[in-house]
Structure 1
Amino acid sequence: MIFRRLGLINIRDIIWIMALALLWTVASSITNRLFGFQSAYIFSILTLSFFLTFAVNISPKQGTGLLFLILGGLFTYTLNDIGSAGINRLILLLATGVVFEIIFFLLSIEYKKNIRMNTIIAATISAGLIPVIMGLLYSLEIVSRMIVPVINLMLLSLVTAFAGSLISFLFWYRIKATKLYIRMVYMNE
């Protein structure tokens, strides 16, 4: 089972991942325009974990999460909904993707049969660490001086990411046996 997850990502998977990254881009840009910074941040973490979990549920291979976050970073390059824009946003999402892949891989080795729970845990922890990664990206001194607000923001991100991942899992579980989903995901296989 673990060797299946180490397989190469094919073109169909890349198309799915790009489509989900574009959906995340649309959702983030709409909320960035409609809401204030705090609401946009919370909704962006929620939708990030939702689409990340959904992408990995569709294509449970190593690298799916990292590819989704890199594409999402490229598509949302100018948005400032998670606290950084431009190259800093790309670096932040790249680091988040690496954290996701490490956690997902380690959990896949330990808990081979429960890939969906591994996805939820990895997405929750990686999205929950966004405030810490962002703080370290800007300044270690700022993080050390403002440790309580960073921890509070991290806890908020963890809870929000868990909710997004769980909603995504429930949505995926509901549609995974439909004919349309099976046709779309397993076409040409």
Structure 2
Amino acid sequence: MLHARHIKHCRACGSEVDYLVPADDNRERAVCPACGTVHYVNPLNVVGTVPVWQDRVLLCRRNIEPRYGLWTLPAGFMELGETTEQGAVRETDEEAGARVELEGLFAVLNVVRVGQVHLFYRARLLDTDFHPGPESIEVRLFEESQVPWDELAFRTVRETLLRYFEDRRRGQFRLHTADIA
């Protein structure tokens, strides 16, 4: 579980903060006694894609920690000033050098333990001219039977891929939501 008391000093004035429940709130926050600034800590959004070419899914082998050397879908932290869709396309380009067309939001996964929400979009690869970006060792297309299930970096990736292949077999894609413990 994330520890909520990691802010020590006010970002506005530098004073040491106190932890208390503000009068108009319902939970403890870091509050600056000097300038009154209330500091909120909220979950981070991770955005990415399930990029597909025919019957294969594009995966990236991680060149960074955490989970160096393991396989993942192209995804990363959303940036300020971009939509979830723009972030998913950007991350796919940065990690896999892949050009995609989004085909709809596919999975929303709450990872409460680390304070993240993962959003994956189904995406159609526009071509097979892809290459590893700086955060990837290797980028490769996998049929379902070839997916390195025991070498996937994150449970959110595993859950997303399982749901993707299940929906594909059924011939109908839907939006999936889940809580990852």
Relative to the length of structure 1, the TM-score reads 0.26
Q: Which has more radius of gyration? A: 2
Relative to the length of structure 2, the TM-score reads 0.26
If asked which structure has higher relative contact order (CA below 8 Å, sep 6+), I would say 1
Return the structure number with greater helix share: 1
Return the structure number with greater strand share: 2
